[in-house]
Structure 1
Amino acid sequence: MAEKPKEPTQLTLDLEETKASTSAKSNTSSYKVVLKDDAAQTPSRPAVRRKPSVNTRSMTVKISSRNKTDSPAWKPKSSTQTKQGGVSVRTRVQTVRTAEQPNPHLVQTHAVKGKSTTVARPKVQPPPIGKRKGYRKSKAAMLLIPLLAATLLFCIAILWWVISTQRDEYHVVMSPLVEDRAVIALNIERGMTARSVSLLLQQSGVVEDAQALLAYIVENDLATILKTGSYLMNNTMSFEEIGKMLTAEPEMVQLTIPGAFTLETIDAYLVNRLGFEQGTFLQSSHDLATAYGLSFTEGWLLGGTYSVNRQRAANDLALSMHQAMLEEVRKHLSSPLLEQYSIEELLIIASMIQAETQDVSQMPGISSVIHNRLKNNEPLGIDATTRYELNDWVNPIPTHALETKTPYNTRRRVGLPPTGICSPTSDAVQAAFHPADTPYFYYLHDTDKQIHFARTYEEHKENIKLYR
């Protein structure tokens, strides 16, 4: 039968201080350890006899010393070991290191200084005024300011020269009556009803509500008298203005625009012939360029005779001249020059040919000289472009105008002018797209309007002596 386990005996540890011998160190204290069995005081059943055994228990008790030492040297830890009733008790005593004592476990890199220790710093004596480097400017800094000032003056001089020598890129300046507005080109074809016309105007952006425009046309009995044709309209027009434009009675008039007429000349022609306000045709030509996305109008209008509605002669004339030019260009789309030049560039050449001569037989030769110079990247030297810029076709060209580098001065500038300079005829367009094959680079007209060509400048000077 298993024996009932016995409850563990509770021991009480009493420490009794004993006097150390005089030979012991002053900082070491001894204690007597007494183990008491509290359970022995209370009656209990006799314990079962067991085989005697010896238990050895060891413990370490750290007790700080109550006495401070006056020795500056550090004392290592000390320990004492005693036996009491078969129990070994080891007591370790550790002294407390003061702040003045060095730590033996640390490497001392410098000596501990006292609180009263001060370091004497040498007095800094500044250099005399005027000898410091900060007071003296380097030679580079002294030269930088004059250099910047000279550069600024040079840039201002260049800018002034450019502004004073350059002219506006385009010669035609809009009259105060001319407005920059959104314009739409429309074609009213035969068979279109009032509803389809209203929808076309809405899709083009002339009106916002096609139904409202249709209601106006029906209420005013205009649906059956709408006229076919080409129109230039803008989104600022009222229903009444649109109705008048689409139903105006065709009072037709014939207008002849000779070759070499400019936009200003045509505008003045309409003022004198039909009593239009000055600038009316300039506005129409500007609207035409806006509607068709042209970079310029001068040169895109073909000279000739046109039948237009008197009430809207300016718009009709601009539209008719432009449509005639488109038809003429279609005839020459097979020209090999279209691989090198755009249609606009060839029309500029056609306008220059037209301004240089009215003799159809001379046009292919002049076109040949222009193309030969363009191919060699030489200035064209055509005075008609400068006359167009000055808007003076009669008086001699001033010397300063020929010496000033402007977009239209082909003596000083290489290449073509930015726009055409007049309305060319179909013969001039033919010559521009199909020039004669010649070796000439120069030509001049004598007093009888006869032309003389030359291959070199020396030959040209001889022609000047002979025919001028």
Structure 2
Amino acid sequence: MAEKQKEPTQLSLDLEETKTAAPSKANTSSYKVVLKDEPDTKAPRPVVRKKTSVTTRSMTVKISSSKKAEEPAQKPKATPAKQGGTAVVRRPKAAVQTIRTAEQPNPHLVQTHVIRPKSNTVARPKVQPPPIGKRKGYRTSKAAMFLIPLLAATLLFCFAILWWVLSDQQEQRVEPSSLIEDRPAIAFTIERGMTARSVSLLLEQLGVVEDAQALLSYFVENNLATILKTGSYLMHSALSFPEIGTMLTAEPQMVQLTIPGAFTLKTIDDYLVNRLGFAEGTFLQSAHDLATAYGLGFAEGWLLGGTYTVNRQRAANDLALAMYEAMLNEIQKHLSSPQLEVYSIQELLIIASMIQAETQEAGQMQEISSVIFNRLKNEEPLGIDATTRYELDDWVNPIPTHALETKTPYNTRRKVGLPPSGICSPSPEAVHAAFFPADTPYFYYLHDENKQIHFALTYEQHKENIKQYR
């Protein structure tokens, strides 16, 4: 028979103190205590109270542990157990602690500013990349390695093309500076009956020599005083006495030279080089000395084409002098021209050279002259391609388009007025046409394949002539 179980002994635990305690605050806890016969082997775990803290955006207030000690400890109350139950110790419930967020105002602080809610977006610092060339740890790409040489090569190529175009368009002078020396020149004539003394004095006056007596002594000592030759001479001040004596006493070996109209100074120079074996540039220097001696603005256009007999030893100087004197004689025939009231002799010679370059037919020259004067009167570009050909020194090949479109002193398609100099040696017929042009209303003309000329009054008629004859 089983042993009757003992009823558990009920114990009542009074947790109230005899001393009346101060009423506890709401911040308390309740505990359930169960007492058993068996002793609890485990030691009760001490209750650790978490320290409360108040946090704001500006400061954090913490409650010190000293104040907590000042509060009287409230003993838990024991609830009497019912019959057959256990004694329950109840402690007041703890107040629910609310945690204040940073956005909520602190009731213990006076708010001096408006609390703004935090933005949800996180502000990231702006990354500033290092300058090019200062980066470390980067490997230069192949494209970057070849970019600078490629750009340099491209620029060099562009500069080369630009230089070629500009040099091709640059004015090509017929008188190359490398072949011409800019020096004082003197032109004079020894007339029949002049003695060695008068020649010496003349050369001293002209500045060829500094001492006429010294030159006369040289003539006498070398038996040259009685054999000085008459004629026109072109000298410069750098000549020595032997050179002067040789020039004035050389036995003439005459040669006949024919200079057709439309020959330029360079063409005449090449002609003397091939015909007489002169050094290149000899005639160019003679023409330059002639212009200097007579104070001419230019030499091209002042030399009249024709046939001349000159001394072979000094053919360059004699030819330049002979052509210039022939031009002066031709001008004397046309001093009654009404064009001299508007234009100078130099301008009329420029027109004569353009007429000569445009045609070799004397019957066409006066009508071409009328077209030139009509355009000059209306201040229109002359549009004579011969001036551009003279500038390019190319009388055979087609004129490049860029040369016709570039404004230069000799491009009469783009420039209004006359070029700065003549462009060739005119013939007597061209000089006559320049001083006495025909009276026509034409402003345009062209040559067909058979060298026949066709005139037009308007540009529309000129375009019809182009369609029909070219």
Task: Map 1:184-223 to 2 at 5 A.
Answer: 184-223=186-225
Residue 304 of structure 2 corresponds to residue 302 of structure 1: yes
CA contact (8 A) 2:262 2:426 kept: yes
Instruction: Name the residue aligned to 1:352.
Output: 354
Instruction: List per-residue Cα deviations over 1:291-321 (Å, max 9, x = no partner).
Output: 0001100000000000000000000000000
Report the secondary structure of 1:192's partner residue: coil
Residue 256 of structure 2 corresponds to residue 228 of structure 1: no
Instruction: Name the residue aligned to 1:268.
Output: 270
Task: Map 1:31-430 to 2 at 5 A.
Answer: 171-430=173-432
Report the secondary structure of 1:187's partner residue: strand
Paired with 2:166 and 2:177, the residues of 1 have a C-alpha distance of 24
Paired with 1:315 and 1:165, the residues of 2 have a C-alpha distance of 33
What is the CA-CA distance between 1:424 and the residue it aligns to? 0.2
Paired with 1:439 and 1:285, the residues of 2 have a C-alpha distance of 38
Alignment CA distance shift 1:166-1:393 (3 Å): closer
**Structure having the higher Rg:** 2
CA contact (8 A) 1:166 1:405 kept: no
Report the secondary structure of 1:300's partner residue: coil
Alignment CA distance shift 1:446-1:188 (3 Å): same
Instruction: Name the residue aligned to 2:100.
Output: none
CA contact (8 A) 1:170 1:419 kept: no
Instruction: Name the residue aligned to 2:463.
Output: 461
What is the CA-CA distance between 1:253 and the residue it aligns to? 0.3
> Unaligned regions of 5+ residues in structure 2, if any?
1-161
CA contact (8 A) 1:165 1:404 kept: no
CA contact (8 A) 2:172 2:393 kept: no
Report the secondary structure of 1:418's partner residue: coil
Paired with 1:393 and 1:288, the residues of 2 have a C-alpha distance of 26
* One-letter amino acid of the counterpart of residue 352, structure 2: A
Report the secondary structure of 2:411's partner residue: coil
Report the secondary structure of 1:232's partner residue: strand
What is the CA-CA distance between 1:176 and the residue it aligns to? 1.9
Runs of 4+ residues over 4 Å off in structure 1 = 163-170
Report the secondary structure of 2:310's partner residue: strand
What is the CA-CA distance between 1:164 and the residue it aligns to? 5.6
What is the CA-CA distance between 1:177 and the residue it aligns to? 3.3
Instruction: List per-residue Cα deviations over 1:364-389 (Å, max 9, x = no partner).
Output: 00000000000000000000000000
Instruction: List per-residue Cα deviations over 1:137-185 (Å, max 9, x = no partner).
Output: xxxxxxxxxxxxxxxxxxxxxxx99x96997678333342321000111
Report the secondary structure of 2:174's partner residue: coil
* One-letter amino acid of the counterpart of residue 191, structure 1: G
Indicate the structure with greater strand content. 1
Report the secondary structure of 2:309's partner residue: strand
Report the secondary structure of 1:261's partner residue: coil
- TM-score, length-normalised on structure 1? 0.64
> Unaligned regions of 5+ residues in structure 1, if any?
1-159
CA contact (8 A) 2:179 2:284 kept: no
Paired with 1:331 and 1:383, the residues of 2 have a C-alpha distance of 30
- TM-score, length-normalised on structure 2? 0.64
Paired with 2:368 and 2:347, the residues of 1 have a C-alpha distance of 16
Report the secondary structure of 2:186's partner residue: strand
Instruction: List per-residue Cα deviations over 1:262-318 (Å, max 9, x = no partner).
Output: 000000000000000000000000000100001100000000000000000000000
What is the CA-CA distance between 1:229 and the residue it aligns to? 0.5
Percent identity between matched residues is 79
Report the secondary structure of 1:233's partner residue: strand
Alignment CA distance shift 1:167-1:329 (3 Å): farther
Paired with 1:429 and 1:170, the residues of 2 have a C-alpha distance of 25
Between the two proteins, the alignment pairs up a number of residues equal to: 308
CA contact (8 A) 2:300 2:423 kept: yes
The RMSD of aligned alpha carbons is: 1.7
CA contact (8 A) 1:165 1:406 kept: no
What is the CA-CA distance between 1:235 and the residue it aligns to? 1.1
Report the secondary structure of 2:247's partner residue: helix
Paired with 1:166 and 1:295, the residues of 2 have a C-alpha distance of 26
* One-letter amino acid of the counterpart of residue 227, structure 1: K
CA contact (8 A) 1:169 1:418 kept: no
